[in-house]
Structure 1
């Protein structure tokens, strides 16, 4: 029953809150739909931490897409062996994860130690950072200590289970042999999705698409006034 709850019921609960929470917040709190930038309060640490985290997380996200959403049969059809795949994931994925994690630590330390930033922080800010730290930390730990060419392969367990969620056929038995650090990583990710709509993370979906069709703002130099 616990496995059914964790790997069948809980994902859909988190997804429901994620989607419904965003709809509710957009309808009732559009003025709060922002990243609430604190750059004016402190710039140096924000610039470094934000750059490292955002660039690192982009590549980490790409690695997750390649490893979880793409079936292992696709790689086998392309002639990519298990050993080669895991070497590539370590060479490219591990540095990206380390960079993102370092950036996240800088941002967390900044929010705790800079008084002006801490005083303007909400509970949601710390909740989001807390779950992000668990997700990033457990993911790095799992990558370093649990993946090798002869051991656990998430493409045959986590991958099929995750893809099963999209067709409403998740198989909880696939998660029985998954190492604990991967399970912590996934459960913390559910926590992020469930709290996402109520934090500043909503700014991820605030793409400035209107700027592409907006008319140019024309500035003209004020001419000299001719006095008679």
Structure 2
């Protein structure tokens, strides 16, 4: 029963909440769709944290898409064998993973250590930051440590097949039975953040500034006091 709850029921609940939560949020609360800026309060840590996080998270995301959604046989058919995939997933993936981790650490430390930024933050902001930090840390641990201590484990024949089963409505919870604990924690936290996504500042990911390159500049001028 616990196996079905963790690897079938909970993921589907998270996906349903993610979809319908976004619909309701967009319908009822478009005004707060974007994230509140705290750039005027503190810039240095925001600059480096945001830069490292965003440079790292994009290739990490697409790495997850390839690893989880594309069968190994398809990659082999286009000439990417297991050794080549392993080099990319573990070594190159680790570089971008640690970039994301450092960036997320800086952003989280800034949010909880700067009193002015903390006052501007909601409870959901802090929860999301901490959860993302833990998810990225566990992901890096699983990639660097677990992959080397349990070389016989292949997530492409377990977790990846399980994920594709969820998406095709044919879940196989038993595939997660022998998965190492670090990967299990990473997956469960990932679905937890998916479920919370519509109710947090993470919705600003969908607010793509399509007119950014053509919009007018916003100029800020200091007001000179009158004599």
TM-score by length of 1: 0.89
Q: Distance in 1 between matches of 2:144 and 2:209?
A: 38
Write the distance in 2 (CA, Å) between the matches of 1:119 and 1:179: 39
Name the counterpart of 1:45: 45
User: Who is 1:21 aligned against?
Assistant: 21
Taking a change above 3 Å as real, the CA distance of residues 171 and 180 of structure 1, as seen in their structure-2 partners, is: same
Q: Report what 1:221 is aligned to.
A: none
Structure 2 unaligned segments of length 5 or more: list them: 217-227
- How many aligned positions are there? 216
Question: For residues 51 and 104 of structure 1, what CA distance do their matches in structure 2 show?
Answer: 10
Deviation at 1:158, TM superposition (A): 0.5
Q: Which residue of 2 aligns with 1:176?
A: 177
Gaps of 5+ in 1: 218-228
Question: Which residue does 1:84 correspond to in 2?
Answer: 84
Are the counterparts in 1 of residues 112 and 126 from structure 2 also a CA contact under 8 Å?
Answer: no
Give CA deviations for 1:1-44 in whole Å, capped at 9, x if unaligned: 11111111111100111111111111111111111111111111
Residue in structure 2 matched with residue 225 of structure 1 by the alignment: none
Contact 1:131 1:189 in 2 (8 A): no
TM-fit CA distance, 1:150: 4.2
The question of 1:163 aligning with 2:155 is answered: no
Residue pairs, 1:196-207, within 5 angstroms: 196-207=197-208
2:189 aligned with 1:188: yes
Instruction: Report SS of the residue matched to 1:168.
Output: coil
**Structure number, greater radius of gyration:** 1
Matches within 5 A, 1:1-228: 1-148=1-148, 150-209=151-210, 211=211
Q: Is the deviation greater in 148-157 or in 42-51?
A: 148-157
TM-score by length of 2: 0.90
Deviations 1:83-137 (A, max 9, x none): 3321221221000000000000000110011111001100100111121112101
